[in-house]
Amino acid sequence: MAACKSSTILPTAINPPPADLAQPCQKIPKLQGKTGGEVLPYILSLHSIYKDCSEKQAGLVKAWPK
């Protein structure tokens, strides 16, 4: 039995992730007002931003070679 042996297994090429998943997450905008009419749309837009980013991250994990 040899202690050192050359490996014949070649590393597989990793395909780049899909273009839509490779894009960075959208930057969070600054809150411009302090009234409910300004805060509520801001919070809803934050929810959308975080949801989109979360879905991208989940897609990258799913696309990662196993």
**pLDDT in single tens digits along all 66 residues of the chain:** 556 666 666 556 677 777 888 788 999 999 999 999 999 999 999 999 999 999 999 988 888 776
* 54 in a structural domain: yes
Domain enclosing residue 62, as ranges: 35-66
pTM: 0.64
Phi, psi of 62 (to 5 degrees): -65, -35
Residues, the chain: 66
Residue 59 within any structural domain of the chain: yes
What angle is formed at CA 23 by the lines to CA 59 and CA 31, rounded to 5 degrees? 105
Per-residue pLDDT at 63: 80
pLDDT score, position 1: 55
Domain assignment of residue 8, yes or no: no
**Number of domains forming the structure of the chain:** 1
What integer pLDDT is reported at residue 49 of this predicted model?
95
32 contacts 38 by C-beta, under 8 angstroms = yes
The Cα–Cα gap between 14 and 12 comes to 6
